[in-house]
Chain A
Amino acid sequence: MLFCAYKPLTNAIVAVKRNVIDCIPRNVLLLNKHSDRQISQYPVVDHHFDAVVVGAGGAGLRAAFGLSEAGFNTACVTKLFPTRSHTVAAQGGINAALGNMEADDWRWHFYDTVKGSDWLGDQDAIHYMTEQAPASVVELENFGMPFSRTEDGKIYQRAFGGQSLKFGKGGQAHRCCCVADRTGHSLLHTLYGRSLRFDTSYFVEYFALDLLMEDGECKGVIAFCMEDGSIHRFRSKNTVIATGGYGRTYFSCTSAHTSTGDGNAMVTRAGLPCQDLEFVQFHPTGIYGAGCLITEGCRGEGGILINSEGERFMERYAPNAKDLASRDVVSRSMTIEIREGRGCGPEKDHVYLQLHHLPPQQLAVRLPGISETAMIFAGVEVTKEPIPVLPTVHYNMGGVPTNYKGQVITHVGGEDKVVPGLYACGEAACASVHGANRLGANSLLDLVVFGRACALTIAETGTPGEKLSPLKPNAGEESVANLDKIRFAEGTIRTSEIRLNMQKTMQNHAAVFRTGDLLKEGCDKMDAIYQSMEDIKTFDRGIVWNTDLVESLELQNLMLNAVQTIHSAEARKESRGAHAREDYQDRMDELDYAKPLAGQEKKSFDQHWRKHTLSTVDIKTGKVTLGYRPVIDRSLDQEECSAIPPAIRSY
């Protein structure tokens, strides 16, 4: 029986006896993979491009059309239509020191970002980003992005995201440029529209399986077409990863179901390290089950958090500030209440946000639209019932390590070494501009600046139409074997069950509240869940639009991200930025910056924690190996902008 799955028009599940030669274009390699009962043939199509971009969100689109504009024959491989990527959900704005509202300087933005990252950000990358910010925003505006304007017609900027003037001493800065309340949506549509002007080839609904690596060099990507089940190898000298974050490893997250860390997993499977995965940003009040965030304004207007006993528990944790304490205090208090058994609901895994004690008129005037939100996402009548909430993930600071030019690096012999042919940008990359904590409105800036940086670096180091080096004819075979194995998997546990186990374990053990014992227990549980992937069961044996198969492949990717996150968190014995531990509450730098520096002895690299974590995974056993690399403390040009020496971070 021959499964000729190449023609999309016929039902591919029906065995078609036909001469296979008819439906194969040139350059096809047939791979035979045996499973117990049937021989499946996967027709493979080879493509040659000058550059391939994986992912078509904000960063991916910017890189793709930057490359097309420079004359490179570019392919954009994406599992979603470009305007459906998660960038579309960003409503806030982009920070840039344009100086439209008051006198501004990008060096002050640089200072704010370095401080926000808790001195874990690489200062050369932050220098690059903040210096390029005004030019990038003006460029977007020239592409047609409809920013909101002041009366004089300049771009209107508002205060957002911890921005200050004069290195923190000049008061609040107004730097955030936005497009009404749909900046991400508008950015994506502007970039997509612009990219259609150049002839980028879009391969939409192609799931990228793996990188094609040979001798430590990246020679392309192998992908699976979801529409007709064919395998495609995109050979290229330059591959850009822009696949986004991995929020879906946690039970409660704001990210789309498609944020599964595919880029991080591809890099891990290629044997390269991922950086700083333990830094995950949480928000205290996300709606249980839906994942949308409830604004802090609810608590600001008088809303209170209550546990299953109806007690306003914040009075115990923060007697003065109560519900208006800072985010991390609130998140940790909520988690402690849930852990101690005072959570609400049948599984006692969330708390309640009560607003019905406030006058309904006040709610309607101060927080318009909240009753609609509560009804749609939580199914509650906000004037009568409380909203179920729990701490929710909404950004991943970690990812694929790169230098400030966007080239992926690995750390060998104490030195950063560039991986030839591989680049990364956006949330998937870790440049690292956000360090241990991301400031609001900096992530959209990160997308456009580093998307552009990847395109510029590729344009500098390569030429369009360059001849490709030869690739082994069976490159990518392991990826197809894995796909075949998952497609015909006959274990006992379903994909959805394994995924729920992983999400619940991560939410209980590697969320906001982290202590040594809890993390250690979580690491053991995650290792067991990783092993349980061998016992996975899938139901759909077809090859055309097999969502069971794609979800299982995404689960494999999520699993790799999750084990690295929890092991890195367990190893990092300090509290820095978003990684806060109850048993090690202080930051551990090479010098104690809380006291005067004179007379202090510098701790050795092994003894302090102001360093990036690099994690790798042995795919078969799931064992995580951790290494470290130093933070880059020099800016790109000391005369133009001097680096900021570390200090205690307080706001």
Chain B
Amino acid sequence: MSLLRVCAFTSKRLNTQLLFVDLSFAGCLRTASGAAKDKEPLRKAKTPQGRFDMDDEKPKDPLQKFPDDVNPATKEQGGPRGPEPTRYGDWERKGRCVDF
């Protein structure tokens, strides 16, 4: 506990807002309490990045590539994947229309 007090004392004395003092204080707290209480693995916060960490399986791309990149119906090489984009009169990809 004395270690804690020392840390608190020094931080007040120094009176700075520097982050590394806070971190070291927190570090003191963890070591001072003996065995680390949290046995779970460290998790990232609920940031968008953190949310994606949970989901390991990548969603399958709805548009599959043709074998050898040749469209079997029209024999087009190097054309757009999936169903024909102009089938509805506009240029459609994944439900979006790009009209250019």
Q: A residues within 8 Å of B by Cβ?
A: 89-93, 146-151, 156, 158-160, 176, 178-181, 183-184, 283, 285, 292-298, 300, 364, 366-374, 377, 394-395, 440-441, 443-444
Residues from chain A with Cβ under 8 Å of B38 in the complex = none
Q: List 21 A-B contacts (CB under 8 A).
A: A91-B91, A91-B93, A92-B99, A147-B78, A148-B76, A148-B77, A156-B77, A159-B86, A160-B91, A180-B81, A181-B85, A293-B98, A296-B88, A366-B83, A368-B63, A368-B94, A372-B62, A372-B95, A395-B99, A440-B91, A441-B100
Assembled-state Cα–Cα distance A178/B84 (Å)? 12
B97 to chain A, nearest CB (A): 4
A440 touches B94 (CB 8 A): no
A148 touches B91 (CB 8 A): no
B80 touches A181 (CB 8 A): yes
A368 touches B78 (CB 8 A): no
A368 touches B82 (CB 8 A): yes
Residues from chain A with Cβ under 8 Å of B62 in the complex = 364, 368-369, 372
B92's nearest neighbour on chain A, judged by CB, is A295
Whether B87 sits at the interface, judged by CB under 8 Å, is yes
A296 touches B90 (CB 8 A): yes
Residues from chain A with Cβ under 8 Å of B86 in the complex = 158-160, 176
Q: B residues within 8 Å of A by Cβ?
A: 59, 62-63, 74-100
User: Assuming A158-B86, A369-B63, what are 14 further A-B pairs, CB within 8 angstroms?
Assistant: A91-B93, A151-B75, A151-B77, A160-B86, A178-B79, A180-B79, A181-B80, A293-B97, A293-B99, A294-B97, A295-B88, A295-B90, A368-B62, A395-B100
B87's nearest neighbour on chain A, judged by CB, is A297
B93 touches A369 (CB 8 A): yes
Residues from chain A with Cβ under 8 Å of B88 in the complex = 295-297, 300
Closest 9 pairs between A and B when the two form their complex, measured CB to CB = A369-B94, A370-B95, A297-B88, A90-B100, A295-B92, A295-B97, A148-B79, A368-B62, A181-B80
Assembled-state Cα–Cα distance A183/B81 (Å)? 14
Q: In the complex where A158-B86, A180-B81, A368-B83 touch, is A373 in contact with B96 (Cβ < 8 A)?
A: yes
B95 touches A369 (CB 8 A): yes
- Which one of A89, A149, A372 lies within 8 Å of B98 (CB-CB)? A89
B100 touches A440 (CB 8 A): yes
Q: In the complex where A91-B100, A283-B97, A440-B99 touch, is A156 in contact with B76 (Cβ < 8 A)?
A: yes
Residues from chain A with Cβ under 8 Å of B59 in the complex = 372
Assembled-state Cα–Cα distance A394/B100 (Å)? 9
Q: Which of B78, B80, B87, B97 has the most CB of A within 10 A?
A: B97
Assembled-state Cα–Cα distance A549/B15 (Å)? 37
Residues from chain A with Cβ under 8 Å of B77 in the complex = 148-151, 156
Q: Which of B59, B95, B97 has the most CB of A within 10 A?
A: B95
A252 to chain B, nearest CB (A): 14
Assembled-state Cα–Cα distance A176/B95 (Å)? 21
SS class of chain B's interface: helix, strand, loop or mixed? loop
Assembled-state Cα–Cα distance A283/B82 (Å)? 24
- Which one of B76, B81, B93 lies within 8 Å of A149 (CB-CB)? B76
Residues from chain A with Cβ under 8 Å of B95 in the complex = 294-295, 298, 367, 369-374
A160's nearest neighbour on chain B, judged by CB, is B86
Residues from chain A with Cβ under 8 Å of B97 in the complex = 283, 285, 293-297
B78's nearest neighbour on chain A, judged by CB, is A148
A290's nearest neighbour on chain B, judged by CB, is B96
Assembled-state Cα–Cα distance A220/B86 (Å)? 43
B78 touches A180 (CB 8 A): yes
Residues from chain A with Cβ under 8 Å of B94 in the complex = 368-370, 372-373
Assembled-state Cα–Cα distance A178/B71 (Å)? 14
- Which one of A159, A184, A440 lies within 8 Å of B90 (CB-CB)? A440
Assembled-state Cα–Cα distance A91/B100 (Å)? 6
A285 to chain B, nearest CB (A): 8
- Which one of B81, B89, B90 lies within 8 Å of A181 (CB-CB)? B81
Assembled-state Cα–Cα distance A223/B56 (Å)? 48
A163 to chain B, nearest CB (A): 11
Assembled-state Cα–Cα distance A327/B70 (Å)? 33
Assembled-state Cα–Cα distance A368/B95 (Å)? 7
Residues from chain B with Cβ under 8 Å of A159 in the complex = 86
Residues from chain B with Cβ under 8 Å of A394 in the complex = 99
Assembled-state Cα–Cα distance A285/B94 (Å)? 15
Residues from chain A with Cβ under 8 Å of B83 in the complex = 366, 368
Assembled-state Cα–Cα distance A289/B60 (Å)? 27
B64 to chain A, nearest CB (A): 9
Residues from chain A with Cβ under 8 Å of B84 in the complex = 158
Q: Which of B59, B80, B83 has the most CB of A within 10 A?
A: B80
Assembled-state Cα–Cα distance A367/B95 (Å)? 6
Assembled-state Cα–Cα distance A441/B86 (Å)? 12
B88's nearest neighbour on chain A, judged by CB, is A297
A293 touches B100 (CB 8 A): no
Residues from chain B with Cβ under 8 Å of A395 in the complex = 99-100
A364's nearest neighbour on chain B, judged by CB, is B62
B98 touches A92 (CB 8 A): yes
A297 touches B92 (CB 8 A): yes
A178 touches B100 (CB 8 A): no
Assembled-state Cα–Cα distance A285/B96 (Å)? 10
A442's nearest neighbour on chain B, judged by CB, is B100
Assembled-state Cα–Cα distance A181/B77 (Å)? 13
Q: Which of B79, B93, B98, B99 has the most CB of A within 10 A?
A: B99
